[in-house]
Amino acid sequence: MSQERNESVPHMKSEEFRQLGHQMVDWIADYWARMESYPVRAKVAPGEVLSKLPPHAPEQGLGGVEGWDAVFKDLESVVMPGVTHWQSPSFFAYFPANASGPSVLGELLSAGLGVQGMLWSTGPSCTELETRVLDWLAELIGLPESFRSMSPAGGGVIQGTASEATLVAMVAARSRVRRQRPGDAPLVAYSSTQAHSSVLKAAMLSGVARGASDTAHVRLLETDGGYALRPELLERAITEDLAAGRQPFFVCATLGTTSSGAMDPLGPTSEVMKRTGLTDMGGWLHVDAAWAGSALICPENQGLAAGIENVDSIAFDPHKWMLTNFDCDAFYTRDRAALVEALSVTPEYLRNAASASGSVIDYRDWQVELGRRFRALKLWFVVRHYGVNGLRAYIREHVRLAALFESWVREDTRFELAVPRSLSLVCFRLAPRPGEAPEATDARNRALLDKLNATGSAFLSHTVLPGVGGKPARFVLRMAIGAPSTQETHVRACWEALQKLTGE
């Protein structure tokens, strides 16, 4: 019995795509040119964008090219008012989230090719380009040969974020320690109190921690006066847990903590793991260098990673400070077999001759999810466009600007540095007035931050640094320099605005 044919699907024709593609690229280029005309932080109320969107999906599509005029109008009237402009040269909040022309073109090409590179066989170029580019980056940031793909056991892979990288490392660590130390002793992970929250979340997701308040299975250790991990406290905690019948298995050190940019000592940390026997038990030392890792492409910064040859994995985000748009995390390990053992599940429909031969990399075994985008394209484009010299110049200029801002803070007696500058991050605040209560000083700093951000001329974020030596915690402003188009004029304008608002 014959059936009537359904209405044709209104696919976009090649020429329509070409025309609209040109229009969209023009729109993005125009946006970059006019970015400074917007307030850096969106000035909308909760629900304001939502109220401009229809409650139901459209029954009829846009039709041809002309129908897309409505989309471009909605971009201006609906979307743009609710955008916080992370690429603005006056965006100094959190850590940077870089995008650049080459990376956007790589993202476009990745989407256009539509490759799903879960296996080598489903995307040979997707896999092998990623392998080569990750080896380039490993060399640039000074990683030993043991972290590169040509080594017997190491290699790199692109994860989505540093949080994903931490989870992958923790799952691999759990598997390796359980293999070498069978049993059901409760597992314990360690980091400093200043480590990223992803360590705790990874422990929750992997079943190590029972919740966000589980301090028995995730030991968050107090820091030194510079907010870095204290190896002697780590040694004491590991020793205590072993004596109590618990099983230490994972340590996360940080290069560039979120709050203050503190650098944990990698060499002394790995020595603690050796002295306590944790290394021989299969214990895993992971380094979260999400922000600061990009700075290691400059040889003068590689001393920050002294002792890196003894860690098991390290991850950093080119999408933070290396001109590569979100998402792109470079994760390296010296024990890729531990990742594969912990993460590989091979149903029949994924079996193929290339994988069975053992001569190829299947990156789906190095990550949580199965599917993989062709993210190496944007990283490849960025490195080829800027070259090593261009990337180093980019990092160095931001560090120079931060040093300049730091000098201005030092010269103005109304302000003080909360900690010494870390690369391109300056943590500062209004200094306490004589006899002023700590809560009052914090309140003045909150008010200053709110007033600055309300102007729309710049956007800074804050943190609260724990008290050291019996002193109270402090509310601190963070000046994180790293947007692609930031110049000295933007940094100076922000400082002048802070000075003016302080005098009001």
pLDDT at 282 over 60: yes
Q: With bands split at pLDDT 50, 70 and 90, how would you rate the model's confidence at 389?
A: very high
Q: With bands split at pLDDT 50, 70 and 90, how would you rate the model's confidence at 2?
A: low
Whether 381 is covered by a domain: the verdict is no
pLDDT of residue 329: 97
pLDDT at 3 over 70: no
Whether 215 is covered by a domain: the verdict is yes
Whether 3 is covered by a domain: the verdict is no
* The pair of three-digit structure tokens given for residue 29, joined into one six-digit string: 């280029």
pLDDT of residue 78: 95
Asked if residue 423 and residue 337 are part of one domain, the reply reads no
* The pair of three-digit structure tokens given for residue 303, joined into one six-digit string: 């001393």
Whether 205 is covered by a domain: the verdict is yes
Q: Which residues contact 36 (CB under 8 A, 6 or more apart)?
A: 88, 89, 90
Q: How far is CA 132 from CA 10, 158, 206, in A?
A: 40, 12, 30
Q: What percent of the chain has pLDDT over 90?
A: 90
pLDDT of residue 482: 97
Whether 401 is covered by a domain: the verdict is yes
Asked if residue 403 and residue 470 are part of one domain, the reply reads yes
Average pLDDT over residues 474-494: 97
**CA 301 to the chain's CA centroid:** 19
3-state secondary structure 437-489: CHHHHHHHHHHHHHHHHHHCCCECEEEEECCCCCCCCEEEEEEECCCCCCCHH
Whether 109 is covered by a domain: the verdict is no
pLDDT of residue 289: 98
Average pLDDT over residues 269-296: 97
Average pLDDT over residues 313-317: 98
pLDDT of residue 22: 96
pLDDT of residue 61: 87
pLDDT of residue 503: 82
Average pLDDT over residues 57-70: 88
Whether 27 is covered by a domain: the verdict is yes
Average pLDDT over residues 45-52: 95
Enclosing H/E stretch for 240: helix 231-243
Asked if residue 127 and residue 76 are part of one domain, the reply reads no
Structural domain range at position 124: 115-373
Mean pLDDT lowest for which of 76-90, 251-265, 342-356?
342-356
Asked if residue 325 and residue 455 are part of one domain, the reply reads no
The chain-wide mean pLDDT, for the chain, equals 95
Classify residue 329 by its DSSP letter.
E
pTM to 2 decimals?
0.94
pLDDT of residue 9: 83
- C-alpha 148/C-alpha 131 separation (Å) is 9
Average pLDDT over residues 249-264: 97
Asked if residue 411 and residue 298 are part of one domain, the reply reads no
Asked if residue 409 and residue 364 are part of one domain, the reply reads no
Asked if residue 151 and residue 269 are part of one domain, the reply reads yes
Whether 379 is covered by a domain: the verdict is no
pLDDT of residue 342: 94
Average pLDDT over residues 362-366: 92
Asked if residue 450 and residue 499 are part of one domain, the reply reads yes
Q: Could you give the number of structural domains in the chain?
A: 3
pLDDT at 1 over 60: no
Asked if residue 152 and residue 25 are part of one domain, the reply reads no
Note the pLDDT tens digit of each residue in 102-158: 999 999 999 999 999 999 889 999 999 999 999 999 999 999 999 999 999 999 999
pLDDT at 27 over 90: yes
- C-alpha 68/C-alpha 371 separation (Å) is 31
pLDDT at 397 over 90: yes
- C-alpha 175/C-alpha 182 separation (Å) is 10
pLDDT at 59 over 90: no
C-alpha dihedral over 403, 93, 264, 441, to 10 degrees? Answer: 80
Q: With bands split at pLDDT 50, 70 and 90, how would you rate the model's confidence at 6?
A: low
- C-alpha 118/C-alpha 362 separation (Å) is 7
CATH code of 193's domain: 3.40.640.10
pLDDT of residue 94: 95
Asked if residue 436 and residue 290 are part of one domain, the reply reads no
CATH code of 445's domain: 3.90.1150.10
pLDDT of residue 63: 81
Average pLDDT over residues 355-367: 91
pLDDT at 66 over 90: no
Asked if residue 269 and residue 153 are part of one domain, the reply reads yes
Note the pLDDT tens digit of each residue in 436-474: 999 999 999 999 999 999 999 999 999 999 988 778 999
Asked if residue 350 and residue 205 are part of one domain, the reply reads yes
Classify residue 53 by its DSSP letter.
S
